[in-house]
Amino acid sequence: MVGTKCIDFTDETRKDELSKNNENRRLKVRFYYPGVDEEGKEPLKVLTVEKIGNFGKNLDFSTYDQLVKIYDVEMEKGPFPLILFSHGYSGCAEQNTYLCKYLAEHGYIVASISHTYEESITDFEDGSVIKFNKKLIWKIMNPLNLLDQARLLKNTKLSDEEALKKFDIHQEKYEKFMVGRIAEWNKDDLCAIKKIHELAEDKDSFLYHKIDFSNGIGATGHSFGGDTAYFHCLYDDEVSCGVNMDGGLFGFFGDTVNHKPFMQILNKGNKTVVTRSRIYHDAPVHYMVFRDMKHLGFSDLKFLTSKASSVGKADTDLVMNTLNEAHLAFFDRYLKNADKENRTELDINKEALEEYEVL
């Protein structure tokens, strides 16, 4: 069984600039972990239409609910390595539960962090609810931004260096809000890590002595959450490796070099916004382009809708199982075994991939 529990906490060191009353930043973390089997337990429904927000129309959960069963059970003895997960902008902490469940089944604790006001809906354990701040859409979806972004994405003949230069110019003109938010999401995660360390030493906590920090912490995420994982690899010593699922690499990083193993997953339409991960590194980078995919197909929406313009035409089982296998092989090598310099390809099924190279 895979177990799940949630915790709420407040960052007492930081005011939340997105809150109405200048309150301290409130956060929630959902944990997925190897659970003790208990007969008669009913599964919890952690991903709902309400959580999916704007994408929650005409969805079919029938197959998904049979595949993704999560329970309120005790954790196995452990200790287990820790992986952070960050959702996409306006996504939710449960949006990649299929992946988190798979990693937990194979001996990891996954801490999925809710980025309040920028998540579809954050339902705290005390019963309070904070919904996505819709006013933020106008900061990221203005017509000039979208037009310039569309031109950049279509210009696939650019070299990596040319694409990065154009992307940085685009950011300077239109994406300063998003660039600022990536630093705030990083602070959310660092606050969560601090809290997790405290709980790991608290005898009354379900995390007491359950986490193996010896090889650092892994990080992964979808879209803006994947960018957060990249940010961690550049600047946070405790994060030892990371994965970006189809997120543009927002941020003015200059010539900062990534010294941590990284996996860049994407659909071919996003090639021009991730080239930084290919250029500035001295550790292994696994670069994977999925065939016939769209951006939202890297989340559990791939199971819930057949709308090709959102999730792509690729076979659902093949894509999602490849995502799972790639994550597990990556984290087993670079987090669990700390094999930091290994540049051989991961042993996974490559049928879903249009490109795969190790840089």
pTM: 0.97
Q: Over range 108-116, report the average pLDDT.
A: 98
What pLDDT is stored for residue 56 in this prediction? 64
Range of the domain at 72: 2-358
Q: For residue 186, give the nearest of 242, 244, 225 by alpha carbon.
A: 225
User: Contact at 8 Å (CB) between 75 and 34?
Assistant: yes
Q: State which amino acid sits at residue 102.
A: Y
- Read off the pLDDT band of 156 (50, 70, 90): confident
Count of domains in the chain?
1
What pLDDT is stored for residue 348 in this prediction? 98
- Per-residue DSSP letter, 56: -
- Read off the pLDDT band of 58 (50, 70, 90): confident
Share of the chain above pLDDT 70, in %: 99
Q: State which amino acid sits at residue 227.
A: D
Q: State which amino acid sits at residue 64.
A: Y
Q: What distance in Å separates the CA atoms of residue 173 and residue 180, rounded to the nearest whole number?
A: 13
Burial (CB < 10 A; 0-12, 13-18, 19+), residue 298, is buried
Q: Over range 339-350, report the average pLDDT.
A: 98
Measured between its terminal Cα atoms, the distance across the chain in Å is 37
For residue range 260-285, list pLDDT tens digits in order.
999 999 999 999 999 999 999 999 99
Structure-block tokens of residue 160: 């990596």
Q: What distance in Å separates the CA atoms of residue 49 and residue 354, rounded to the nearest whole number?
A: 32
Question: What is the CATH number for 342?
Answer: 3.40.50.1820
For residue range 289-311, list pLDDT tens digits in order.
999 999 999 999 999 999 999 99
Locus of tokens 């260096």: 161
